[in-house]
């Protein structure tokens, strides 16, 4: 008997068979598994990662690290995060509950794990790489209303699970770089096995493995090994029970990744191996490490990459030369992470979600990337701006930072009026005290309001987002924006947009003289064009603008009056990668080092990232390099 996906007649009805498209003899079979047109069975394979015991163990880190190993071998990979919540996207989720909202090039507001995939794989993702229960159900209900199920009762099985499989197979066909095919689809199932909301994802993956056949799917169970201090030893019972839940759902894991604080000892791995039917060589100790970027090499040293190739029968697709080159480049960066640092500086992040670092995860990573390349140990100070005022900002900085010192400052993005006045006060402090400064999104707007109030004397300068009794709406939602920016996110500007950079500016210097850059936006309010000329005459430089419309996108202070003061209406942290750190963060970290170590030579910091005049304000601005 032919395997379901390998039948010469894709419409044939038989045990184990399925239908190619929605609506073909639906009532005559229970094997309802729609397949996208052109899908080739056996061409693509799947790796699915499930979490047990508890959430937050690092499924995204494990999955992206394993995906990187496969990509290094010359295979094309396409990751996807399957979320159980009913929200259609992550755009309205509170950062305290869910961490930051990560924005993709196409404007998709998604889970922060997709940032981990982009950074680890150095690969831009799209809305194909993210799905929620809300999206799945919406698609099915819209089809039902159009009569596409031909009168059949619509059920979790086979229709909901069928939609999940259809999305995964579509991703396999079009989710590779440039929209091409992917050799391997990496599927991360959000939440924990046993949650009600992710049960249909688990069932869909069980069905997928059955339909695709042997060597088509590799199941990974990420679990947690407890080590209670009072006992002084590692305990595996919770891990065993968590994996048992997965097996009860019909999923036999091929690999078990054991999260723990310390290295998981062999006898504990033996217990987990015996109770999960997984060979000991495939029970991997994923204990805490100095950096997540060292995990791929640890997996390689444990032989996990070879095990995956064997499970999926992919050895013949490996490119050894590509693997050697990629491994050398990555290990060089990982060695820098672990190496002693030549410099030390303190950077304050002034936000209203300072109590939860995951709310600013991409900023944290962007600083880490820049600091590694500049050999700097950065002491991050997370300061809540909710209680900061113009009168007490210096006191708050002294109390929160202590003897370590603030050598640079970041004001991140955000929505809502809580903490905004504190951010405005921080922008003034950085401007008037020569503190290297980077403003992001709302941080950009805070600078404009502060400058209008304290330099132009517009005491009533404000943003219409927050209301109030102001008289000068220097930041507002422009009526024409609704006509020129499309409908994605309502009136939000979401996703990658072109920014035209003014030659001869700090922004031009940072971006190596490129006339246009591509950055990711997530905002609704703009600098009102009526105030741009007055702000410019008062010394504020708008060095980045929209290619066609009067939308200001980068601002700065001249380098002859401030060592480093720049802000972007976009989110530069979203495009920082380990091997290609974001220029604005490189400039900020270099300026912080110079402020912390005034006698350090430019060469010891990095000539590329420290303009001569940035170290000595009041000199003439350094001309930008000619565009390539």
Segment 553-570 mean pLDDT: 95
Question: Average pLDDT over the chain, rounded to whole?
Answer: 88
pLDDT at 609: 80
Closest listed residue to residue 55, CA positions, set 226, 189, 187, 164: 189
Tokens of 155: 């059920």
Considering the domain 4-332 in this protein, what is its CATH number?
A: 3.40.50.300
Percent of all residues in the chain with a pLDDT value above 70, rounded to a whole number: 89
556 is catalytic: no
pLDDT of residue 13 exceeding 60, the answer is: no
The CA–CA distances, whole Å, from 298 to 289, 327, 441 equal: 10, 12, 37
Closest residue by Cα to residue 171 from 45, 357, 33:
45
pLDDT at 626 over 50: no
Q: pLDDT tens, 341-363?
A: 999 999 999 988 776 777 899 99
Q: Which of 1-15, 23-37, 293-307 has the highest mean pLDDT?
A: 293-307
**Selected catalytic residue, list 343, 373, 523, 571:** 571
The mean pLDDT of 196-217, rounded to a whole number, is 96
pLDDT score at 218: 98
Q: Does residue 83 contact residue 111 with C-beta atoms inside 8 Å?
A: yes
Strand partners, 494: 522
**Whether 60 contacts 81, CB under 8 Å:** yes
The domain made up of 343-614 has a fold known as Rossmann fold (3.40.50)
pLDDT at residue 600, rounded to an integer: 76
Instruction: Give pLDDT, residue 539.
Output: 96
pLDDT of 620 over the 80 cut: no
CA distance 174 to 415: 35
Task: Note if 369 is an active site residue.
Answer: no
Examine the pLDDT at 127 and tell me if it is beyond 50: yes
Q: How confident is the model at residue 466 (pLDDT cuts 50, 70, 90)?
A: confident
Claim: this prediction has a pTM higher than 0.85: yes
Give 226-238 pLDDT, tens digit per residue.
Answer: 999 898 899 999 9
CA-to-CA distance for 321 and 609, rounded, in angstroms? 33
Q: What pLDDT sits at residue 403?
A: 54
What are the pLDDT digits (tens) for 152-194? 889 999 999 999 999 999 999 999 888 899 999 999 999 999 9
What DSSP assignment string belongs to 119-130? HHHT----GGGE
**pLDDT at position 265, please?**
96
Which region among 1-10, 115-124, 214-223, 454-463 has the lowest average model confidence (pLDDT)?
A: 1-10
pLDDT tens by residue, 264-284:
999 999 999 999 999 999 999
Candidate from 167-176, 541-550, 612-621 with smallest mean pLDDT? 612-621
CA distances from 274 to 243, 268, 279 (A): 12, 10, 8
| C-beta of residue 19 within 8 angstroms of C-beta of residue 33 | yes
d(CA 559, CA 504): 11
Q: For 317-329, what is the mean pLDDT?
A: 96
User: Does the pLDDT value for residue 22 go beyond 50?
Assistant: no
Contacts 24+ apart (CB under 8 A), 589-592: 589/345, 589/347, 589/367, 589/370, 589/371, 589/374, 589/376, 589/378, 589/408, 590/374, 591/408, 591/436, 591/563, 591/564, 592/345, 592/346, 592/347, 592/376, 592/378, 592/407, 592/408, 592/436
Predicted local distance difference test score (pLDDT) of residue 232: 86
Residue 1 reports pLDDT greater than 50 = no
pLDDT of 58-88, one tens digit each?
A: 999 999 999 999 999 999 999 999 999 999 9
Q: Which H helix or E strand runs over 496?
A: strand 493-501
Q: Is the Cβ–Cβ distance between 372 and 334 less than 8 Å?
A: no
Residue 604, pLDDT score = 72
Distance CA 211, CA 35 (A): 11
Q: Is 110 a catalytic residue?
A: no
Domain ranges in the chain with CATH number 3.40.50.300:
4-332
Residue-by-residue DSSP string for 252-301: --SEEEEEESSPPPHHHHHHHHHHHT--GGGEEEEE--S-GGGHHHHHHH
How many angstroms separate the CA atoms of 39 and 26, rounded?
20
**In the predicted model, what is the mean pLDDT of residues 586-596?**
94
Neighbours of 40 (CB within 10 A): 12
**Among 218, 258, 426, 441, which one carries the catalytic annotation?**
441
Domain boundaries for CATH 3.40.50.880 within the chain:
343-614
């Amino acid at each position: 008997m032919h395997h379901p996906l390998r039948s010469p007649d894709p419409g044939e009805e038989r045990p184990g068979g399925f239908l190619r498209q929605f609506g073909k003899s639906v009532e005559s079979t229970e094997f309802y598994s729609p397949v996208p047109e052109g899908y080739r069975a056996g061409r693509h394979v799947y790796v699915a990662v499930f979490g047990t015991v508890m959430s937050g163990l690092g499924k995204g880190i494990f999955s992206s690290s394993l995906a990187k190993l496969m990509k290094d071998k010359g295979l094309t990979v396409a990751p996807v995060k399957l979320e159980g919540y009913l929200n259609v996207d992550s755009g309205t989720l509170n950062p305290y509950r869910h961490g930051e909202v990560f924005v993709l090039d196409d404007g998709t507001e998604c889970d922060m794990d997709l940032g981990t995939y982009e950074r680890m794989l150095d690969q831009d993702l799209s809305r194909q790489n993210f799905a929620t229960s809300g999206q799945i159900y919406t698609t099915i209900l819209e089809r039902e209303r159009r009569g596409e199920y031909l009168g059949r009762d619509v059920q979790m099985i086979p229709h909901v699970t069928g939609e999940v499989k259809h999305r995964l197979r579509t991703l396999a066909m079009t989710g590779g770089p440039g929209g091409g095919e992917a050799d391997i689809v990496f599927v991360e199932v959000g939440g924990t096995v046993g949650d009600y909301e992710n049960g249909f994802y688990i069932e869909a993956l069980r069905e997928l493995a059955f339909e695709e056949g042997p060597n088509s799917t590799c199941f990974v169970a990420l679990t947690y090994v407890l080590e209670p201090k009072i006992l002084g030893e590692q305990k595996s019972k919770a891990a065993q029970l968590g994996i048992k839940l997965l097996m009860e759902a019909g999923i036999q894991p091929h690999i078990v990744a054991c999260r723990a604080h310390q290295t998981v000892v062999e006898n504990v791995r033996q217990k987990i191996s015996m109770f999960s039917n997984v060979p000991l060589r495939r029970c991997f100790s994923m204990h805490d490490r100095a950096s997540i970027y060292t995990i791929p090499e640890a997996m390689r040293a444990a032989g996990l990459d070879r095990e995956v190739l064997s499970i999926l029968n992919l050895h013949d697709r490996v490119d050894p030369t590509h693997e050697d080159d990629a491994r050398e480049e990555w290990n060089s960066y990982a060695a820098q992470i672990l190496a002693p640092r030549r410099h030390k500086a303190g950077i304050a992040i002034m936000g209203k979600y300072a109590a939860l670092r995951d709310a600013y995860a991409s900023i944290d990573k962007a600083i880490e990337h820049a600091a590694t390349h500049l050999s700097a140990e950065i002491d991050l100070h997370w300061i809540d701006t909710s209680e900061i005022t113009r009168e007490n900002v210096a006191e708050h900085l002294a109390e929160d930072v202590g003897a370590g010192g603030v050598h640079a400052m970041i004001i991140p993005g955000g929505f809502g009026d809580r903490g905004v006045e504190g951010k405005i006060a921080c922008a003034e402090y950085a401007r008037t005290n020569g503190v290297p400064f980077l403003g992001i999104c709302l941080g950009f707007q805070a600078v404009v309001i502060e400058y209008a109030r304290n330099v132009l004397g517009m005491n009533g300068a404000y943003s219409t987002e927050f209301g109030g009794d102001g008289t000068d709406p220097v930041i507002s939602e422009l009526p024409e924006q609704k006509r020129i920016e499309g409908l994605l996110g309502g009136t939000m500007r979401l996703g990658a947009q072109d920014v035209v950079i003014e030659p001869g500016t700090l922004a031009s210097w940072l971006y190596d003289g490129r006339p246009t850059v591509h950055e990711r936006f997530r905002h609704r309010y703009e600098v009102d064009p009526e105030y741009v000329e007055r702000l410019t005459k008062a010394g504020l430089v708008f060095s980045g603008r929209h290619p066609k419309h009067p939308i200001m996108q980068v601002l700065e202070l001249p380098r002859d009056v401030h060592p480093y003061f720049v802000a972007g209406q976009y989110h530069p942290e979203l495009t920082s990668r380990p091997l290609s750190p974001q220029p604005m963060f490189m400039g900020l970290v270099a300026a912080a080092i110079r402020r912390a170590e005034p006698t350090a030579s430019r060469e010891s910091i990095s000539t590329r990232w420290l303009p001569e005049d940035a170290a000595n304000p009041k000199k003439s601005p350094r001309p930008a390099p000619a565009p390539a």
